[in-house]
Amino acid sequence: MQDEPSPIELTKSVADFLRNDISPLITGHQAFKLRVAINILDLVTRQLTREEDSDAAEVGRLRALLGIDGSVTELNRVLADRIAKGELDLATPGLADHLWATTMDKLAVDQPNYASYRRELGRGW
């Protein structure tokens, strides 16, 4: 474990600096590229913040659904294989809920301001 500041604090600080101090000074195409860089730093910050909990929840759902143990990557490969073989489908208890929860977790990182994601959050996600 590293001393402070944490990777989350570092990426957030750089994004805030660029957004608040540098962005107002830049125009045109360079301003666009700067906004892209800030968005990337914001995405990395969200990944670092949410990854451990969302991966643990996903592994828990996959273990219950598949009846086996493994890493998130291994379990997703098994899930995809079983779906491709027709062994699992949306009628399988827990599959639709797992896919929905996983999608919501991914949107929380990748597109937290996406209108449909925000609407679904309002419904209790």
Is-contact 45 82, C-beta < 8 A? no
Helix (H) or strand (E) holding 28: helix 28-66
**CB-CB neighbours of 62 under 10 Å:** 23
Tokens representing residue 33 in the block: 């590229």
Over the stretch 20-74, which tens digit does the pLDDT of each residue have?
Answer: 999 999 999 999 999 999 999 999 999 999 999 999 999 999 999 999 999 999 9
Contacts of 81 (CB under 8 A, 6+ apart): none
**CB-CB neighbours of 64 under 10 Å:** 11
Contacts of 45 (CB under 8 A, 6+ apart): 8, 11, 12, 15
- Above pLDDT 90, what percent of the chain? 87
pLDDT band of residue 7 (cuts 50, 70, 90) is: very high
Q: Per the confidence metrics, is the pTM higher than 0.85?
A: no
- Identify which of 114, 112, 89, 110 has the alpha carbon closest to the alpha carbon of residue 99: 89
Tokens representing residue 83 in the block: 């779906």
